[in-house]
Structure 1
């Protein structure tokens, strides 16, 4: 078990982040009785100082060194008598990472202030999926290394919005002109879902009398174009809770229209970030082109909300089963809109949008099995493709059809309940859906 405490401060002028991270590690003696090397993932991070403590808070002798190409940082604990005080080990590191402009890791961007053609408002935002948390802070950057996170952000006091996955519990002055926001401890989750935003974006929509609290942030001049997403979210979230028979587990969802963002959206738990073009809907959307845009935005929003269960609550153990979250989120986005926007008849467009896209990709030489070995970073990024999304969604739609709606829903509810706050593999899903197919009599007993 690993529990990080992270304090990070972006320096917009120097394009760096200064930070400290405290990582509490509970050794798994069933895996190894020996003190194996501890290897943290990093990418363009300089470790300034480090310290290793035992469970009594006493210093442990160790060697520390960078791994190949400076993409990891290793701690080798020096031999000493084993004891209970080595069951829990604490790493303390001061580090410096890059505040890049590449839309990866913890990055910076700007937008022009309202009414100005020159005045820039700088912001810092995150994009950690799939393997870029290691660009922001030293960590175990793997989906199966789930942990709770205690996050603190130090920022210029003038910044209007400082957000992370959970709510702020404490604000303090660290020095003149700078504040520190401490956030509630997160649920147990993967590093790629950690997120924070420091900006002058404004709170333009807030749900009243709705749980969880829905907060929408954008540039002030486009605030009116967020109303549709707020209305849609308030319809979809309760539907997903009923469909999965599992309540959403966070107190709030911040939905942020980021002026400079590399993807359509990112499902960070409790802090969903969007590209503006995949989030904003003009109030006058009667034209056919506007209607198509609205449907696209709705599919993106529904996709990210479905991820709060498939991906966030239950996460694939490794990237070879990426389809378990992306295929389900894609399929569920159509289920959501079939409920929230019946007049659109979205499952008629599913054939063109998803099934046909899957066939086209499958006929290409670059196609791959829906689940296949992923060994290198380049392979991880490559599988975010129509096979994982569209073919995955098509397979799930087919399973719903031959199992029947009741057996299918009961099966995925059991899957989410069994593996919540944990990881799962493709075989885990097959086992549960097969069992419910037998229980409901929709799958022959001979098929197992």
Structure 2
């Protein structure tokens, strides 16, 4: 049902009057400074009446989950943000609730919002009869507002809680925040947008701010008549704000059931652009996509928000694909609590690359995932400060902190593990998928697998330990870390890099002088180290004909060798012997990996006597690529060709190549004489 405001509730015509009442009266009811002053100055503030108790729990006994005695069903949220004024927000919220267990308390989340106790109302949904509130309690540590009632709420019945409040458009990029941009004439323009994931819906309006507590929403946004608004659903109606000339209310249709972190709205002077293909079947409501300043992407149901920059189309495509994937993984199917974030983000990240690969196969997105995702998170996850991906969280700040690359990206390859485990014959009958997955989700880090071949090449011994870039005597006991690792490999005589299904055995080889490579297409989450003999065989193959080895594994070999050397598992002599083949490398992925390794090597040699020799050596590797792709950009070139050119030009100039420096200087002088601010 769609709720209508009761007689005591805030009506559109009340907003202006209520605004002045708030300013006049609230300083008498709140602690410390005038709350409006706090808000205008950007200070965090939650009203705590002087006569009421304020409880703050210590970190040991802090339980941030709401009681399960009540569940929300439907919200009505009305907000009037003063974007072009003092950035304050006048708000009203009412929520229909169902009682699951008898209780005399109603607990919901509130943060950085000022409430006025006498506007908080609780009523029986069926009879509209009000219930008296005995005490208002504010728990700062847990962001709780608790209404203590004189009578117990009855199981199975529905009630309505409503309140008026004041908020503030912060500049922290969390909650309901403000941002600025320059229009084509150079004028500063204001806009406001939301970023609620994981726990910041409570900064915009009081709510049951947990992912499992889904409800429907009816959003009302007030705006100046020359501005526009967007939210998760289509606009149902637009009416003037009574008593406030030049202001309009946009009321949005009732939403689908969703978590509070997926609620979204934008107020701006953006122009709406629509594109329709007439030969498509119109079978569901569309999605809006809006570019907002200063932030990445967010999968809000029906309103995807993202940044926009011409620097990299692939980044934008991945963001949009990732957030579209979240419409199913996360929005439709939602984890009960944030310790399962890895499953939510892991699915969406993997599916996003599948989507981009389908739309633009020439970008080779499924190869890009190795260098952009796996290699990047390898570095984070090889530190002692890493964390497991399934993390118990006990306060709001911890929830925000688990949104990092390890939670997002460590899970992209779980699909490979799961598919391999379900194939007949892969696992013994007494081994379950849970046994395998627990080793990857409940402990930090990842293994390095060392392959030591017998002298005659007929067998090999594999050992594993946790990989650490900088291990120490005080490190966690890495010998206790063991993983179920899916093993794939090929030999020189086979050179079959397409078989990524895990094998638990290794084929005999009659020729001990044939190399063997494990973790085909880097489909599983581990590094591989070999004995010196096998490393030398791989190096010889790269020099002789690198194309026998697939591009993904060539990138893997470069990345593993350099990081194993950095961590002390492999001599730098062997690791550096891998790099010379890059003179003949024409694929983007191995070059992207190699260029990242150059950064570390260069930083280690800087200010040392051998730095000049190192620069000459690296330039010798880069020059063939630079001469192949050239300096000048060509928009007709393929996407990956342009990315290779970026690597080649960056490093040729960085290493002091005269042709590159002269062309860059010419380009700079031309721009200075004829500046183009749009580029």
* Same topology, TM > 0.5: yes
TM-score, with length taken from structure 1: 0.73
1:360 aligns to what SS in structure 2?
Answer: helix
Q: CA deviation at 1:140?
A: 0.7
Residue 232 of structure 1 is matched in structure 2 by: none
Name the CA distance, whole Å, in 1 between partners of 2:240 and 2:75.
23
Q: CA deviation at 1:121?
A: 2.0
1:309 aligns to what SS in structure 2?
Answer: coil
Name the CA distance, whole Å, in 2 between partners of 1:65 and 1:211.
54
Residue 653 of structure 2 is matched in structure 1 by: none
Identify the match of residue 251 of structure 1 among 282, 285, 306. Answer: 285
Say which structure is richer in strand.
1
Are 1:42 and 1:134, in contact at CA under 8 Å, matched by a contact in 2? yes
Residue 65 of structure 1 is matched in structure 2 by: 136
Structure 2 residue 96 is the aligned partner of structure 1 residue 19:
no
Residue 338 of structure 1 is matched in structure 2 by: 357
Are 2:236 and 2:252, in contact at CA under 8 Å, matched by a contact in 1? yes
Identify the match of residue 75 of structure 1 among 137, 144, 147. Answer: 147
Q: CA deviation at 1:365?
A: 1.7
Q: Decide whether aligned partners of structure 1 residues 179 and 303 sit closer, same or farther in structure 2, where only a CA change above 3 A counts.
A: same
Name the CA distance, whole Å, in 2 between partners of 1:200 and 1:37.
42
Residue 302 of structure 2 is matched in structure 1 by: 270
2:256 aligns to what SS in structure 1?
Answer: coil
1:266 aligns to what SS in structure 2?
Answer: coil
Q: Decide whether aligned partners of structure 1 residues 362 and 36 sit closer, same or farther in structure 2, where only a CA change above 3 A counts.
A: farther
Structure 2 residue 333 is the aligned partner of structure 1 residue 314:
yes
Name the CA distance, whole Å, in 2 between partners of 1:6 and 1:167.
15
Where does 1:341-356 land on structure 2 (aligned, <5 Å)?
A: 341-356=360-375
Are 2:307 and 2:316, in contact at CA under 8 Å, matched by a contact in 1? no
Residue 168 of structure 1 is matched in structure 2 by: 235
TM-score, with length taken from structure 2: 0.49
Q: CA deviation at 1:36?
A: 4.1
What does the per-residue CA deviation read over 1:225-249, in whole Å, with 9 as the maximum and x for residues that have no partner?
A: xxxxxxxxxxxxxxxxxxxxxx8xx
Q: Decide whether aligned partners of structure 1 residues 83 and 146 sit closer, same or farther in structure 2, where only a CA change above 3 A counts.
A: closer
Q: CA deviation at 1:336?
A: 1.0
Are 2:308 and 2:316, in contact at CA under 8 Å, matched by a contact in 1? no
2:412 aligns to what SS in structure 1?
Answer: helix
Higher relative contact order (CA 8 A, sep 6+): 1
Name the CA distance, whole Å, in 2 between partners of 1:157 and 1:163.
14
Q: CA deviation at 1:270?
A: 0.6
Q: CA deviation at 1:261?
A: 2.8
Q: Decide whether aligned partners of structure 1 residues 197 and 65 sit closer, same or farther in structure 2, where only a CA change above 3 A counts.
A: same
Residue 216 of structure 1 is matched in structure 2 by: none
Q: Decide whether aligned partners of structure 1 residues 138 and 36 sit closer, same or farther in structure 2, where only a CA change above 3 A counts.
A: same
Are 1:10 and 1:18, in contact at CA under 8 Å, matched by a contact in 2? yes
1:76 aligns to what SS in structure 2?
Answer: strand
Residue 196 of structure 1 is matched in structure 2 by: 265
- Structure 2's unaligned 5+ residue stretches are 1-70, 424-440, 443-500, 503-679
Residue 133 of structure 1 is matched in structure 2 by: 201
Identify the match of residue 174 of structure 2 among 87, 90, 104. Answer: 104
Q: How many residues align?
A: 349
Residue 322 of structure 2 is matched in structure 1 by: 303
What does the per-residue CA deviation read over 1:189-216, in whole Å, with 9 as the maximum and x for residues that have no partner?
A: 0000000011111123423337798xxx
Are 1:327 and 1:396, in contact at CA under 8 Å, matched by a contact in 2? no
Name the CA distance, whole Å, in 1 between partners of 2:145 and 2:86.
24
Name the CA distance, whole Å, in 1 between partners of 2:251 and 2:319.
30
- Structure 1's unaligned 5+ residue stretches are 214-246, 282-289, 405-425, 428-441, 444-448
Are 1:166 and 1:252, in contact at CA under 8 Å, matched by a contact in 2? no
Are 2:79 and 2:220, in contact at CA under 8 Å, matched by a contact in 1? yes
Residue 123 of structure 1 is matched in structure 2 by: 191
Name the CA distance, whole Å, in 2 between partners of 1:126 and 1:210.
34
Name the CA distance, whole Å, in 1 between partners of 2:279 and 2:265.
23
Q: CA deviation at 1:151?
A: 0.7
